[in-house]
Structure 1
Amino acid sequence: MGVELKTVNLPRDVTSRPYDEHGLPLIVEPATGSLANDPEAVQSWFEEHHRTLEDLLPAYGGVVLRGFAIPDTAAFNAMIERYDTDPMGYAGGLTPRSNISGKVFEASRVPPEQKIILHQEMGYLPNYPKAVAFYCLIPSETGGCTTIGDARRYQKQIPARLMDSVRERGVLYRRNYRKPGPEADPLKALFRREWTDVLQVETVEQAEAACEAVGCAAVWEDDGSLSMHYRSSGFVNHSATGEEIWFAQVQGMHFNRARLDRNYDKLNAAFPAGRPRPIEILYGDGGDIPDDLVTPLYDVLDALAVNLPYEHGDFMLLDNIYTMHGRQPYTGKRDVQVGLVF
C-alpha cells in the first residue's frame, strides 16, 4: 500500500492476515465460538472495536470481517447504524439503487454480464463518503466479487500528461437525464434515466433544489432533459494523512471506445458530440480529455484488481479515498448490500 503497513493491534479473540502481497484487504476472522455463532456477541464486539478497524484503513485500504455471525440485513444495518450517512440518501447517484432497510442500500443495479470499472464512490459530487461498507447476504454462483484496487498504486501509473493537465485544468462532470415520460428510442431509454427518478422529485423546482443540495449546477436542455454539472480539481487530501490523492473518475465516465466497447458506435450515434450525453467527464474548462491519455488506464486498473470471492456474512469496510471498488460480472443470484459512511 502507499504507507507502511502497521502492526495490527486487534484483540486476542480474532486473527488477521493481509489478503494479497500489498496488504489489500486485511482479513479479520473470529478466534472464538461466540463471535462465529452469536450475532449479539458480534454486535458488542464491533461496538467496542470498530474504531480500531477504522484506524487500520489508511494502511490496509480495507478490512473484511469473515466468519463472524452477521446473518442478515438487520445485523448489517445494526453495524452501520452508528455512522453518519448522507441526508440525501443516494439521490443524485450515478446508477440506480434502492434503499433496503435503515441505512442499507442495494448494490448498483447494473446487468450481471457487465463489469463495473474501479472507481471511488460518488467522486463526481462534492460530498462523498469517506468509507463504503459492503455486506454479502447471497454470494453469486460465479464471479461477482466486489473488485478492489489501491488508488495510491494507481496514481503512480497514471500518464504524467494526464496528471499534469488535470492538475492545471481540473475536471467537469456532466450527467444528463431525460424528461419524464415515454422515450421513443429504446437505446436512449436504457442509457438515460428520467430526472424525476434520479433525484427522487416531481417538479422542476424540486429538481433544481435537489441539484443545489448535492452541489451540482442544474442545466436545462432544449429537449427538456436535465444536465447536472460539477467541477472538481480532480484531487483530494485524505482526512487522516493529508496525502493528496487522485480523485477523478476519468476511467469510468470518459466517452471512449475502450470503455464503451461494443456499445460505442450505437451510443455515439444516439448521443453525438456537442449534444448532452448520459455521462461524460471533460476538462474543467469544457475541453475534451484526449482518448490516448485515457485508454492506457484500463490495463493499469486490470493489473491492480484484487478479487476476493464473497462468502455469506462477509462485511467489508473500504477507505473510499485510498481504495477503489468495482464489480466482476457474475452468474446466479447475488445479493450484496451497501452502506455509505460519511
Structure 2
Amino acid sequence: MHITSPSREPLAPWIRQHRDRIDEALWTDGHVLFREFDVGGLEGFEASAASACDALYRHYGDLPLASVGAGASDNVYFATPYPKHLEIRFHNEASHTQTWPSRQLFFCLEPASEGGEWTLSDGRRVVERLPADMLERFRELGLVYRRRFIRGLDASWEQFFQVDSLEELREKITPTGHEIDVISENDLTVSYRTHALLQIPEHDTEAWFNQILLHHPDALPGQIDAMLGKHFRRDQYPRTVCFGDGSPIPTEWVRTIDRVLTECAIHIPTQANDVLLVNNLLMAHGRLPYSGNRQVRVALGDMKEHAAAAVGEPA
C-alpha cells in the first residue's frame, strides 16, 4: 500500500490515528509506503516508528546506531554499510539469529541521484513458486548459518552480540543454541541452527524467511567472491550457510532461489522524506545499486523469538 499526504500531515500522529488500517495493510500487502508527509527529521522518524510498532529495538549489532551527532535518535540505525555499486540481495532482517523484528522502517533522508530503489519480495509468493521437493528439504533440515568474525571485516563479534569479552559471549549465546569456535580473540566463528521458512499460525501463512542470498558463497557478486577467494577457502568465508545437517545447499538451488525472489519482487523508487514500513515476517528486502549520496535510516520493532512451536524445529 502507498499512501500520499498532499497536505503534508505530520506522520507520527497520522500513523497512530490509522494504526488499524496500517496493521491490516501489512498483512495484505506486506508493506506501507508513506510519501509527502511531514516526517520531522530523525526525531520525527523515531516517533513515527514508535507509532507503527508496539516496541522499538536498539540492540541489533548488524547495523550501527545513528545515536551520535545532531538530531541523534536512540532507536534509529544507519542503513547497511555496503558498496553502493553493488545490489543488496533479498533477505529477512535478522532471520539468521534467535530474535528478529516483525516490523522494519526505512527513512529516506536523501535519495540517490540514480538507482537505489528499495526492493521487496513476498515470501508467501516465493513459497508458491519454489519446487515442492526443495521446500520440503528446507522444512525438514532447516539451516545452519556460520558467521566468521575476523577483526577489521564486517561488524566485530563484540558489536554484533553486544558483549565485551569471550566469557560474556559464551554466557549470552551458548544457552540459545549457538556454537562458538575460537581461533583467536580476533578470529572466531559462531554457528546457529534455525529455520528456512516461517510458519505464522495466526494467519495460516507460511513464508520464505532466511538470509541464504546474503550468506551463500554462490550468491556473492563475482568481484566479492574473487576477492575473498584470494584469502579464504569458500567454507571459511566470513558468512556461509548450509542445510541444518551440515550438507551443502546446491549451487543450482541457490540460483533458483535467486530467480524466484527476483520474479516476485517489486521496486520502490525513493524520494526525500519517504518512509517505508515493512512486514519483515513476510517480505524479504534489498536495495539496488546507486550513484550519488543516498542517505537512509532504519528502525526495528516488535521483536519475535525463535521457538519450535512458531517456526518448526529442524530435524
Q: TM-score range by the shorter chain?
A: 0.7 to 0.9
Q: Which protein has the bigger strand share? A: 2
Q: What is the match of residue 123 of structure 2?
A: 151
Q: Distance in 2 between matches of 1:200 and 1:128?
A: 15
Q: What is the match of residue 306 of structure 1?
A: 266
TM (norm. structure 1) is 0.79
**Which of 210, 214, 226 is 2:188 aligned to?**
226
Alignment pair present for 1:128 and 2:100: yes
Provide, for residues 260-285 of structure 1, a one-character-per-residue CA deviation record: whole Å limited to 9, x for no partner.
322323423422155x3311111111
Q: What is the match of residue 142 of structure 2?
A: 170
Q: Distance in 2 between matches of 1:240 and 1:339?
A: 25
Q: Distance in 1 between matches of 2:269 and 2:195?
A: 35
Q: What is the match of residue 17 of structure 1?
A: none
Alignment of 1:1-342 (within 5 A): 26-30=1-5, 33=7, 36=8, 38-39=9-10, 42-82=11-51, 83=53, 84-86=55-57, 89-91=59-61, 93=62, 96-100=63-67, 101-178=73-150, 180=151, 189-190=152-153, 192-212=154-174, 215=176, 217-224=178-185, 225-238=187-200, 240-256=202-218, 258-273=219-234, 276-342=236-302
Q: Distance in 2 between matches of 1:263 and 1:64?
A: 32
Percent identity for Structure 1 against Structure 2: 26
Q: Distance in 1 between matches of 2:234 and 2:217?
A: 10
Aligned-residue offset at 1:218: 4.1
Q: Distance in 1 between matches of 2:204 and 2:129?
A: 21
The alignment's C-alpha RMSD in Å is: 2.2
Q: Distance in 1 between matches of 2:295 and 2:201?
A: 31
Q: What 5-or-longer segments of structure 1 have no aligned partner?
A: 1-25, 181-188
Measured at CA, do residues 236 and 339 of structure 1 come closer, stay the same or move farther in structure 2, by a change above 3 Å?
A: same
Contact 1:71 1:137 in 2 (8 A): no
Aligned-residue offset at 1:160: 3.1
Q: Distance in 1 between matches of 2:111 and 2:174?
A: 38
SS at match of 1:77: helix
Structure 1 segments of 4+ aligned residues over 6 angstroms from their partners: none
Provide, for residues 40-81 of structure 1, a one-character-per-residue CA deviation record: whole Å limited to 9, x for no partner.
xx4332222123211211111111111111131111111123
Which shows bigger deviation, 310-319 or 46-55? 46-55
Q: How many residues align?
A: 294
Q: Distance in 1 between matches of 2:36 and 2:141?
A: 47
Q: Distance in 2 between matches of 1:29 and 1:260?
A: 36
Measured at CA, do residues 77 and 86 of structure 1 come closer, stay the same or move farther in structure 2, by a change above 3 Å?
A: closer
TM (norm. structure 2) is 0.85
SS at match of 1:44: helix
Opposite residue 33 of structure 2, the aligned amino acid is V
